[in-house]
Amino acid sequence: MAVSVVSGGKMPGIVSEEIMEEEKVKELNGNSSDPPIEGVLVHTSIEELCDNLCEMQSSDQSPSRQSFGSYGDESRIDSDLRHLAEGEMKERDVLEEEGEEEEEDEVVKPESSTEKVDTTKSDSELPSKDVPKENSPAEQEVGKKDDKNLNKPRRNKAGAKSQNGKEDPSENSELGRFLLKQAQNLISSGDNPNKALELSVRAAKLFEAAASNGKPRLEWIMCLHVTAAIHCKLEQYKEAIPILQQSVEIPIIEEGEEYALAKFAGYMQLGDTYAMLGQLENSISCYTEGLEIQEKVLGENDPRVGETCRYLAEALVQAVRFDEAEQVCKRALDIHRENGAPASIEEAADRRLMGLIYETKGDHENALEHLVLASMAMAANGQDSEVALVDSSIGDSYLSLSRFDEAVFAYQKSLTALKTAKGENHPAVGSVFIRLADLYNRTGKLREAKSYCENALRIYESPNLGIPPEEVASGLTDISAIYESMNELEQAINLLQKALKVYNNSPGQHSMIAGIEAQAGVLYYMSGKYSESYDSFKSAISKLRAMGKKKSTFFGIALNQMGLACVQRYAIDEAVELFEEAKDILEQECGPYHPDTLGVYSNLAGTYDAIGRSEDAIEMLEHVVGIREEKLGTANPDVEDEKKRLAVLLKEAGRNRGRKAKSLETLLDSNAIVPLREEI
């Protein structure tokens, strides 16, 4: 008997849950290709770094994306490195010019050591003959080029030793600062990050050796932060995780405020790194820990606590936890309203995020109210380019409310301002083109919709504009969705393939890549290309499993769609396994009466019948028909189709449909009798 399954069609949730929310957050954040703000002072103490950590920007595609109150183009990791490279560590009169020229003598001296000289060092790192060497602290640590010092204990990998052969914490710290300074110089100049990582690791070992003889030093903690940041710079996120975990275990809050804030900084950086790996739950847990520490040290109503609350709310939005995001963002808004002037930049940023949250929750009126207030506050503070971006979001709310004329006006106002402020080819301009294309597509004006799509494509496909890859990929994905709604599936698939090439399987973008691959799988299925659909779903599901998203609604729907592709490829046994796994997940996440869950039940009944498990198929289909009759009524077309399928199965099995018997009490219960007029 042929397999009877529910058609796949458009997969709900593939784009909307994994991509749309993140795109809205990015749109409200501004664009990472904007130039950095000039004239910003760099704070040079660990306390200032920790106090301002929430104001730093973060990596674009993580929940720790740039904060809504930040408008530059550095990531949080980049910002940390910049602060540290320009003097973040407390340099207690460490050698500047002399030290740079004597690094080889300080670390490895061929005349007084059996170790070989590192020939990989650049000329700038080799000692200069013109530098006087008397009274050099570096030489005092290792010994001068003198026969009488050959028996002096040498510095080894564990740390510096004094004349009595014991490790000298002060010398370890001094050499650690020196090596870290070299690493910072390499990072700030953009030269050889691998060498910078090597020096930073060596510095961390020296600081650890110095700390073993007393309480942990802040320099050791911050050196671990720098080392982890360099790993992230090299896209070695997994290597950064244990280093940051160590950095948050070291500080003891009771030792003082600086230690507490160093622990806070470590948790926030660890959260950013988890986010880059797509591990949003771990990321949110770290941000929450950081927030609790910050509250204990600074107080619950400190403005900086408000900044961290907003930061956490952004991460919760990314994790599709909108109710929690609303509560946390509301707290940030209350803190900033209490501490700041009316219509402050901080309050505007909070309202902007609140608008996003309400919009995604479907409360468009409240979203519109917050966005209008945010726009007015930003205009009062001279943030014209940000006003233009908020106007785009205002247009989104009008569009959701079907107030199309007002939406067009808001989009056109935003488009004019962005062209003036950022130029004709800026990705923010392309984003407004996409919005206008979507609006005209919804209102049936396909010619105008295609025109705006083409305008947007000219921006995102231009190779010489320096647009960040993430923005290019998201723009192509959005345009693909519009072509899909126009039923131009080939063009939609081509755009998704281009988006995947832009991401190039970047480890920090696996969540977005999986969403795009799953949507491509849907389009391949709709086009009748079942093998391509299967391959695309298989790749997406493997990424989702690796990221620990095996219990999400999105994952369950993707499994169901992959099962449909298996049915079309006659891989029935594999389809059964996929449907059963999808059933377990959707029952847990959505409940047994949800339409998505019922769709999987129906598909599973069809595959059970195909492999000869008729009794299981009948039982499953009877359950589906019973629920659909109860929820939709017996005259609904979907119910009628399911009943026909069930009748065929029962006839083949020589059975009649089993119905649940109602007790006499139920039949006589007056509350069970519903008047006809109430049904109507």
Classify burial at 421, counting beta carbons within 10 Å of its beta carbon; exposed 0-12, middle 13-18, buried 19 or more.
Answer: middle
466 confidence band (pLDDT: 50, 70, 90): confident
The rounded distance, in Å, linking the Cα atoms of 299 and 293 is 10
- Structural tokens at position 604: 């599973």
pLDDT in tens, 570-608: 999 999 999 999 999 999 888 888 888 888 988 998 898
Cα–Cα nearest to 328, from 317, 339, 312, 344 = 312
pLDDT at residue 661 is higher than 70 = no
Residue 342 DSSP label: T
pLDDT in tens, 276-306: 888 889 999 999 999 999 999 888 999 999 9
| CA triple 376-379-385, angle to 5 deg | 120
pLDDT in tens, 174-189: 888 888 888 888 888 8
637 confidence band (pLDDT: 50, 70, 90): low
Task: Quickly list DSSP for 179-239.
Answer: HHHHHHHHHHHT--HHHHHHHHHHHHHHHHHHHTTSSPPHHHHHHHHHHHHHHHHTT-HHH
Phi and psi at 403, nearest 5°, equal -95, 75
Span 108-132, average pLDDT: 37
Residues with Cβ within 8 Å of residue 411, at least 6 apart in sequence = 391, 392, 395, 432, 435, 436, 439
- Structural tokens at position 304: 């900086």
Cα–Cα nearest to 566, from 110, 8, 67 = 8
The separation between CA 654 and the C-alpha centre of its own chain, rounded to angstroms, equals 55
The separation between CA 201 and the C-alpha centre of its own chain, rounded to angstroms, equals 27
pLDDT in tens, 100-117: 444 444 444 333 333 333
Contact assessment for residue 293 and residue 253, using Cβ atoms and an 8 Å cutoff: yes
The rounded distance, in Å, linking the Cα atoms of 220 and 215 is 11
Report the pLDDT value the prediction gives residue 75, as an integer from 0 to 100: 40
Contact assessment for residue 433 and residue 452, using Cβ atoms and an 8 Å cutoff: yes
Helix (H), strand (E), coil (C) string for 251-313: CCHHHCHHHHHHHHHHHHHHHHHHHHCCCHHHHHHHHHHHHHHHHHHHCCCCHHHHHHHHHHH
pLDDT at residue 323 is higher than 90 = yes
Classify burial at 340, counting beta carbons within 10 Å of its beta carbon; exposed 0-12, middle 13-18, buried 19 or more.
Answer: middle
Q: How many CA atoms lie within 13 A of 656 on its CB side?
A: 2
Residue 154 DSSP label: P
Length of the chain: 680
Maximum pairwise Cα distance, the chain: 110
Span 16-30, average pLDDT: 43
List b or e across 550-564, with b for residues whose CB sees 16 or more CB atoms inside 10 angstroms: eebbbbbbbbbbbbb
449 confidence band (pLDDT: 50, 70, 90): very high
Contact assessment for residue 287 and residue 316, using Cβ atoms and an 8 Å cutoff: no
pLDDT at residue 173 is higher than 50 = yes
Q: Report which listed range, 157-161, 168-172, 243-247, 641-645, is most confident.
A: 243-247
Average confidence score pLDDT of the chain: 74
Strand pairing partners for 167?
161
Residues with Cβ within 8 Å of residue 493, at least 6 apart in sequence = 480, 520, 523, 524, 527
- pLDDT above 70 as % of the chain: 68
The rounded distance, in Å, linking the Cα atoms of 86 and 100 is 16
pLDDT at residue 330 is higher than 90 = yes
pLDDT in tens, 487-532: 999 999 999 999 999 888 776 788 889 999 999 999 999 999 999 9
pLDDT at residue 96 is higher than 70 = no
Phi and psi at 397, nearest 5°, equal -65, -45
